[in-house]
Amino acid sequence: MRPEQPSAVKLSEYRVPDFLIDHVEMDVVLDGPATRVSARMSLRRNLQGRPDAPLILDGDDLRLSGPLEIDGRALPLSDYSVAAQSLVIPAPPEGPFELHLVTALDPAANTKLMGLYRSSGTYCTQCEAEGFRRITYFLDRPDVLATYRVRIEADRAEAPILLSNGNPESAGSIEGTDRHFAVWHDPFPKPSYLFALVGGDLAQLKDSFRTMSGRDVELGIYVEHGKQDRAGYAMDALKRSMRWDEEKFGREYDLDVFNIVAVSDFNMGAMENKGLNVFNDKYVLASSDTATDADYSGIEAVIAHEYFHNWTGNRITCRDWFQLCLKEGLTVFRDQEFTADMRSRPVERISDVRGLRAVQFMEDAGPFAHPVRPESYREINNFYTATVYEKGAEVIRMLKTLIGAESFRKGMDLYFERHDGQAATIEQFIACFSEASGRNLDQFRLWYSQAGTPTVRAKTSWDEAGGTFTLELEQAVPPTPGQDTKKPMVIPLAYRLFGENGTPLSVENSSGDGELIVLSDAHSRIDWKGLPKRPVLSLNRGFSAAINLQTDLPEADRLFLARHDDDAFNRWQVLQTATTEVLIKSVHALRSTEPMPDDAPQIEAFAAALAHTALDPALLAQLLTLPSEADLAREIGRDVDPDAIYNARLRLKQSLLAALEDDLRARYEATSVPAPYVPDAAGAGRRALRTVLLDLLTARRDERSAHIAYAQFVSADNQTDRIGALAVLSQIESRLREDALDAFASRFAGDGLVLDKWFALQASIPEAGTLERVQRLMQHPDFSLSNPNRVRSLIGGFASGNPTQFTRPDGQGFAFLADNVVQLDRMNPQVAARLLGAFRTWRALEPVRRAEAEKALRKIAESGSLSADVNDLVSRALT
């Protein structure tokens, strides 16, 4: 039995709007449950639209207050029909006209956190994708671009700060009352999803930025009172982002002000509203005592991401939501490049690829797989995915690799010039690059339309007599929902050949593309001729193509590459691949009577890495981190037993410890140089290494291990070392663990953002008692089902961060998630639907767990009155 399907929106059915809105005058009276929004829209018929089409405005849960007016005259009731979800005027005036309407809202009752809502008392908005229709009836689609003037009025004590998009125009008191107003004007036409408004009592951090043409922009970051001193890093990141976009893409900021508001209840990471970004406070607030290095780098990346949207998303927006990757994939690419420039490029690449494989490759391999540009959706909120974002970014990176940096920059310039002020499509975007490079990109566009991660098999051979080295390549894209057969893709494989002592060889290959092989057929063969000796091949360097690569490299070549490859990414990859193979063999051994594999080569490789003292600690930390449980599950692919995977990893850590204890300890002690905390890449690298080493040093999980972790916990003078230690200690069943957890909780009581880490750590404990612990923690005074960050930390942390307990063979982990999804769905469908991501690979589980997962999914499906969000995902999961 499957729940009823909401009807699908299809890319092939796109139609231009029948009406356009050029300008909106809004008057928003913030007044608790009596909040009112007056909207005057300048409308006209779109000459490209259907000539006799009625005017249909979108609404969602709206209530009209007072009569509708056209050009200042009340419209007779018989001339329109109004419902909660739409407003229809069958015969509007032929020429341009002004429509005036007033809606009545109760922001505090808005628990979906879409539209106008309240977060800790602050009035704020979230409109992407379809939230503006929860504020007023509108043509709520991204290809309707209007200028806005917004007057906001509120009680001065309750909301001294009043913000909207654009530039401030005027402000003042309302005579004889305690109320005041502010007027904002945004001169740039924008789609309604970029609308934003904030009213509240907030503290402000001020700064300014001089643009490349010498204009001064006022910068403001608004946070809860008392938290101003945690906003400094975000401000710094903002200024660096603004400079970087000028230097790397020639993009200058365009308004007089740029404001960021941090709120504590937010469905996603942040939102790029024109001139007024609204952020989940997780991506703004940081101090050495409350935030980890990962938090700092998350802030840097998200601040940059939202800022970069000003050109890729706002100045040029999307024609429709199928084009979401046009702004998201491109903007993720831009923020990744920014981070690579700010920090270490190889380390950034490794961590981006780790993330891509852990989430996007998983998504691509299961029931939620969809193309980077989907062709149909039932609920657009479910398409803000790793595929659209992270794979979308990889597609841009492949494009750049394919056509070269220079043509790529030319194509970007052309795109900005040609489409500024427009709502564009992927076709228009790609056309800019084929023009700039002179290259036909038709086949490349399959990256946007074909779902699934391509697999490339590489076979090498050596003809000693002729001195010819041959590489045979074979590609295949697996079937995905709705796409049974696939065409060959364009796969750019960066490579290098190495000679005996690690010197790169410069020999032309038969395809003649320098150190790049462009695989575009199902099979292909490349020869290098005239070589004195068999070379060693380093392929898909820097992860130039987002594929699963299977090579037949002999053990000797791998050892060679681990030592000599001048691409740090591939040095890391070679070790990961070898470790993955050993771990998978161990998993099979643990589940059968086969003998355990020999891990001596892994021990040797780790020893070599540890001995390499000149290595960047951040890179060493990556080298010493085993493939994750999720990575292994994905590689195994079917009949997955999470307990066996967990045990295989633990056993390998224990053999590494047994063999390398002295080296590990020496290296660990060397990382604890007393230095004041600075959240820079160098310090972060050293601390990351410290925690990775601590994890290995405590692999015995005994009382002595607990003491080692506890010692770091109590002596830590920053949150990174403290949480690093607590994360390790959490994995050890010990009294010290509970002491440390209690100490942490009392120290940070009341600070939800910090306690999120504490919730997530406990949710990830791989022990049978964890489910009960999680249920107990849901009663904690700092937990709340209405706060998305808390839900994601505790419930999401359990479902996505605890493979052994979430998939308990008795099904209780699945059932727990199912119950919470159903309960949350009534309050906040987006947050509920997100949690279902934990089911993205349920069919790959071994039969007992798989049956339990299915039971839980069916239970959700049958629980009735589900949101479109949850309904869509559950039915796809079960298909």
Binding site for Zn ion (CB under 5 A): 328, 331
* Residue whose CB is less far from ligand ARG, 191 or 617: 191
- Least spacing, CB of residue 269 vs ligand ARG, in Å: 6
The answer to whether residues 493 and 519 touch, using CB atoms and an 8 Å cutoff, is yes
Question: Is 128 an interacting residue with respect to ligand ARG (CB under 6 A)?
Answer: yes
- Least spacing, CB of residue 383 vs ligand ARG, in Å: 8
CA gap 267, 52 in Å, rounded: 39
The answer to whether residues 78 and 7 touch, using CB atoms and an 8 Å cutoff, is no
Answer positive or negative: Cα dihedral of 361, 365, 368, 372: positive
Identify which range of 79-87, 225-233, 264-272, 869-877 contacts ligand ARG by CB under 6 A. Answer: 264-272
Which of ligand ARG, Zn ion, none does residue 58 bind to, with CB < 5 to 8 Å depending on kind?
Answer: none
Question: Is 260 an interacting residue with respect to ligand ARG (CB under 6 A)?
Answer: no
Which of ligand ARG, Zn ion, none does residue 570 bind to, with CB < 5 to 8 Å depending on kind?
Answer: none
Between residue 129 and residue 148, which ones bind ligand ARG under the rule CB under 6 A? 129
CA gap 212, 37 in Å, rounded: 38
Which of ligand ARG, Zn ion, none does residue 101 bind to, with CB < 5 to 8 Å depending on kind?
Answer: none
Q: What is the signed CA dihedral for 766, 772, 775, 781, rounded to 10 degrees?
A: -90
Which of ligand ARG, Zn ion, none does residue 712 bind to, with CB < 5 to 8 Å depending on kind?
Answer: none
Which of Zn ion, ligand ARG, none does residue 267 bind to, with CB < 5 to 8 Å depending on kind?
Answer: ligand ARG
Between residue 567 and residue 606, which ones bind ligand ARG under the rule CB under 6 A? none
Burial class from Cβ neighbours inside 10 Å (0-12, 13-18, 19+) for residue 781 reads exposed
The amino acid occupying position 447 is: W
Task: Please select the residue that binds ligand ARG; options are 268, 494, 693, 728, rule is CB under 6 A.
Answer: 268
Which of ligand ARG, Zn ion, none does residue 699 bind to, with CB < 5 to 8 Å depending on kind?
Answer: none
Which of Zn ion, ligand ARG, none does residue 128 bind to, with CB < 5 to 8 Å depending on kind?
Answer: ligand ARG
User: Of these residues, 25, 130, 153, 306, which one is catalytic?
Assistant: 306
- Least spacing, CB of residue 376 vs ligand ARG, in Å: 17
Which of ligand ARG, Zn ion, none does residue 381 bind to, with CB < 5 to 8 Å depending on kind?
Answer: ligand ARG
- CA angle 32/35/37 to nearest 5° reads 160
* Residue whose CB is less far from Zn ion, 304 or 794: 304
- Least spacing, CB of residue 5 vs ligand ARG, in Å: 20
- Least spacing, CB of residue 841 vs ligand ARG, in Å: 23
Q: How far is residue 847 CA from its own chain's centroid?
A: 31
In the 3-class helix/strand/coil scheme, how is 713-760 assigned residue by residue?
Answer: HHHCCCHHHHHHHHHHHHCCCCHHHHHHHHHHHHHCCCCHHHHHHHHH
Which of Zn ion, ligand ARG, none does residue 486 bind to, with CB < 5 to 8 Å depending on kind?
Answer: none
The two three-digit tokens of residue 508, written as one number: 């032309």
Which of ligand ARG, Zn ion, none does residue 838 bind to, with CB < 5 to 8 Å depending on kind?
Answer: none
- Least spacing, CB of residue 277 vs ligand ARG, in Å: 9
The answer to whether residues 180 and 154 touch, using CB atoms and an 8 Å cutoff, is yes
Which of Zn ion, ligand ARG, none does residue 335 bind to, with CB < 5 to 8 Å depending on kind?
Answer: none
* Residue whose CB is less far from ligand ARG, 389 or 759: 389
Answer positive or negative: Cα dihedral of 693, 697, 702, 706: negative
Identify which range of 270-278, 507-515, 630-638, 783-791 contacts ligand ARG by CB under 6 A. Answer: 270-278
* Residue whose CB is less far from ligand ARG, 301 or 860: 301
Task: Please select the residue that binds ligand ARG; options are 272, 335, 363, 599, rule is CB under 6 A.
Answer: 272
CB atoms within 10 A of CB 742: 10
Identify which range of 77-85, 98-106, 132-140, 265-273 contacts ligand ARG by CB under 6 A. Answer: 265-273
Q: List, in sequence order, every residue forming a beta bridge with 117; answer none if it has no partner.
A: 124
Q: How far is residue 27 CA from its own chain's centroid?
A: 34
Identify which range of 224-232, 269-277, 733-741, 804-812 contacts ligand ARG by CB under 6 A. Answer: 269-277
- Least spacing, CB of residue 129 vs ligand ARG, in Å: 6
- Least spacing, CB of residue 442 vs ligand ARG, in Å: 29
Measure CA of the first residue to CA of the last residue in the chain; give whole Å.
11
- Least spacing, CB of residue 327 vs ligand ARG, in Å: 7
Size, binding site for ligand ARG by CB under 6 A:
13
Which residue from 317, 333, 322, 331 is spatially nearest to 424, judged by alpha carbons?
317
- Least spacing, CB of residue 336 vs ligand ARG, in Å: 13
* Residue whose CB is less far from ligand ARG, 458 or 831: 831
- Bridging pattern class, strands 81-82 and 161-164: unpaired
Which residue from 580, 492, 506, 483 is spatially nearest to 543, judged by alpha carbons?
492
Task: Please select the residue that binds ligand ARG; options are 21, 24, 271, 725, rule is CB under 6 A.
Answer: 271
* Residue whose CB is less far from ligand ARG, 43 or 332: 332
In the 3-class helix/strand/coil scheme, how is 523-570 assigned residue by residue?
Answer: EEEEEECCCCCCCEEEECHHHCCCCEEEECCCHHHHHHHHHHCCCHHH
* Residue whose CB is less far from Zn ion, 283 or 572: 283
Answer positive or negative: Cα dihedral of 264, 268, 270, 271: negative
CB atoms within 10 A of CB 770: 21
Which of Zn ion, ligand ARG, none does residue 129 bind to, with CB < 5 to 8 Å depending on kind?
Answer: ligand ARG
Task: Please select the residue that binds ligand ARG; options are 110, 241, 267, 731, rule is CB under 6 A.
Answer: 267
The answer to whether residues 398 and 545 touch, using CB atoms and an 8 Å cutoff, is yes
CA gap 429, 323 in Å, rounded: 10
Which of ligand ARG, Zn ion, none does residue 130 bind to, with CB < 5 to 8 Å depending on kind?
Answer: none
Q: How far is residue 286 CA from its own chain's centroid?
A: 20
Which residue from 347, 256, 249, 263 is spatially nearest to 297, judged by alpha carbons?
347
* Residue whose CB is less far from ligand ARG, 377 or 384: 384
- Least spacing, CB of residue 384 vs ligand ARG, in Å: 4
* Residue whose CB is less far from ligand ARG, 270 or 517: 270
Look at the block and give the residue holding tokens 């990351």.
688
Binding mask 820-849 for ligand ARG (x = CB under 6 A): ----------x-------------------
* Residue whose CB is less far from ligand ARG, 194 or 610: 194
* Residue whose CB is less far from Zn ion, 331 or 576: 331
Identify which range of 266-274, 421-429, 603-611, 751-759 contacts ligand ARG by CB under 6 A. Answer: 266-274
- Mark whether 363 is an active-site residue: no
838: helix, strand or coil: helix
The full length of the chain comes to 879
DSSP 212-246: TTS-EEEEEEEE-TT-GGGSHHHHHHHHHHHHHHH
- Least spacing, CB of residue 50 vs ligand ARG, in Å: 30
DSSP 74-120: EPPGGG-EE-SSEEEESS--SS-EEEEEEEEE-GGG-TT--EEEEET
CA gap 324, 774 in Å, rounded: 36
From residue 551, how far is each of 502, 577, 583, 601 by CA, in Å?
20, 10, 18, 18
Between residue 326 and residue 385, which ones bind ligand ARG under the rule CB under 6 A? 328, 381, 384
The two three-digit tokens of residue 475, written as one number: 């590609």
Which residue from 498, 616, 470, 472 is spatially nearest to 559, judged by alpha carbons?
498
* Residue whose CB is less far from ligand ARG, 268 or 456: 268
- Least spacing, CB of residue 312 vs Zn ion, in Å: 9
Between residue 292 and residue 311, which ones bind ligand ARG under the rule CB under 6 A? 305-306
* Catalytic residue annotation: 306
By the criterion CB under 6 A, which residues form the site for ligand ARG? 128-129, 267-268, 270-272, 305-306, 328, 381, 384, 830
